[in-house]
Amino acid sequence: MNAILIAVTGTSPEPWERRFRTLAPQRDLRVWPDRMGDVRDIAYACVWKPAPGVLARCPNLKAVLSVGAGVDHVFTDPDLPPVPVVRIVDADLTMRMGEYVVLHVLMHHRFQRLYDAQQRARVWREDRQPAASAVTVGIMGLGVLGRHAADLLRRIGFSVAGWSRTAKSLEGVATFHGADGLDGFLALTDILVCLLPSTPDTKGLIDLALLRKLKRNGALGGPFLINAGRGATQVEADILSALDDGTLAGATLDVFESEPLSDASPLWTHPKVTITPHNAAASVPSALVRNMLAQIERFEAGGPLQHVVDPRAGY
C-alpha cells in the first residue's frame, strides 16, 4: 500500500526512479508502463504528461504530484480521477526561472543581438544604452516564479510592473490585476515577461491586439516579448506579424503552441527571435524528488498537501 507511481512521457523515468530509491529506499515504487504491479497499491502518482487513462486505473489514488511547475499536462486527461493535484514549488525551479528571465531581459535591454550582428561585421560602435531604471519590465503571473524574477530585476535596477488574475501586492512593483487592469499594465511595459499558466482563461492571450497595447517609443525603442510560461498562451502567427510590422522589436520564446517546435516554423530563422527548447526552468530529479517526498510524508502524517491546484482556475 501507499506505493508511489512514476508516470512520465517525453522524458525518461530512470533518473526520477533512481533519485526516489536513493532518498527513500524503503518506499514501494512503481513505474509506468511496465512496472505498475497491483494498481490498487498506488496512492501517489508523480507525473509529467501522463498517458490519458493511466491515473484512472489506480482506484486508491490519493494525490497526483506534477514534477513540473505547470499542471496543464495533468488536466488534459479526460479520465483524471477527482483527487488533489499538486504543483511543485521548489527553490531550485524558482532560481532557474530567475536565471532565465534575468538573462533574456538583459539580452534585450543591452541590445545583445545588435552587438552580435556588429561583431559578425567587425563593427566597433557603441549604441545608446538607457539605464535599467528607464526601462519597465512587465511580468504577467505573480506566483512564486514571477515574484522572484521581479525581485531580481528590481535589484538590477529595472522598473518592474506586474499583472495577475487576482489582486496581489509586491513591494516596489506597480501591480495590476484582472481584465480591467491589463491595458494599464501593458501601456507601462517595455519588456513583457509572460510566466502565466495554461488555463482556459490564458489560452491565446498573447495575441496581436495585446501586443499593440505595449509601450510605444520607450527607452529601448520598441517593446520586447519573453514567454517562459506556456505556449498555449501565445498566438505565434500574431507574434510574427507583430515582429514584422514593428509592433514588437524582438521576442524570446521558450514555449510554443506545439512542442518540439516544428521544423517548418518561421520562428526558427526570424532575425528578431531567440528560441530555447522549453528549458527555462528544468525539473531536475536531484532537487525535486526531496520536495515530493516531503509532500507525501507530511500528508501521511496527517498534514495538508501544499500547492493544491484549484481545478476551476487551472493552477
Dist CA 199 CA 75 (whole Å):
10
Torsion, CA 134, CA 129, CA 280, CA 149, rounded to 10: -30
Dist CA 80 CA 89 (whole Å):
22
> 22 or 279, CB closer to a copy of itself?
279
> 103 or 182, CB closer to a copy of itself?
103
Kindly write out the interface string for residues 84-113 of this chain, putting x where it contacts a copy of itself by CB under 8 A and - elsewhere: --------x--xx-xxx-xx--xx-xx-x-
The DSSP symbol for 215 reads P
| Catalytic residue (choose from 73, 87, 278, 307) | 278
**Judged by CB under 8 A, how many residues of this single chain contact a copy of itself?**
47
The reply on whether position 133 binds a copy of itself by CB under 8 A is yes
- Binding to a copy of itself, residues 62-81 (CB under 8 A): none
Question: Phi/psi of residue 161, each to 5°?
Answer: -120, 160
Question: Phi/psi of residue 274, each to 5°?
Answer: -110, 130
278: annotated active-site residue? yes
Kindly write out the interface string for residues 254-283 of this chain, putting x where it contacts a copy of itself by CB under 8 A and - elsewhere: -----xxx-x----xx----xxxxxx--x-
Question: Phi/psi of residue 68, each to 5°?
Answer: -120, 165
Which residues contact residue 223 at a Cβ distance below 8 angstroms, ignoring those fewer than 6 apart? 189, 190, 191, 192, 211, 214, 215, 216, 247, 248, 249
- How far apart are CB 312 and a copy of itself at their closest, in Å? 32
Query: Which of 24, 8, 10 lies closest to 295 in space, CA to CA?
Result: 24
> 152 or 208, CB closer to a copy of itself?
152
| Catalytic residue (choose from 230, 290, 298, 307) | 230
The reply on whether position 230 binds a copy of itself by CB under 8 A is no
The reply on whether position 129 binds a copy of itself by CB under 8 A is yes
> 253 or 293, CB closer to a copy of itself?
253
Which set of grid coordinates corresponds to residue 176?
A: 495590476
Contact 160/184 with Cβ under 8 angstroms?
Answer: no
> 13 or 98, CB closer to a copy of itself?
98
- How far apart are CB 298 and a copy of itself at their closest, in Å? 24
Contact 161/173 with Cβ under 8 angstroms?
Answer: yes
The reply on whether position 150 binds a copy of itself by CB under 8 A is no
> 171 or 263, CB closer to a copy of itself?
263
Dist CA 225 CA 66 (whole Å):
27
Q: What DSSP string describes 73-87?
A: HHHT-TT--SS-EE-
Residues making contact with a copy of itself (CB under 8 A) = 92, 95-96, 98-100, 102-103, 106-107, 109-110, 112, 115-116, 118-120, 122, 124-127, 129, 131-133, 151-152, 155-157, 259-261, 263, 268-269, 274-279, 282, 284, 287
Residues classed as catalytic: 230, 278
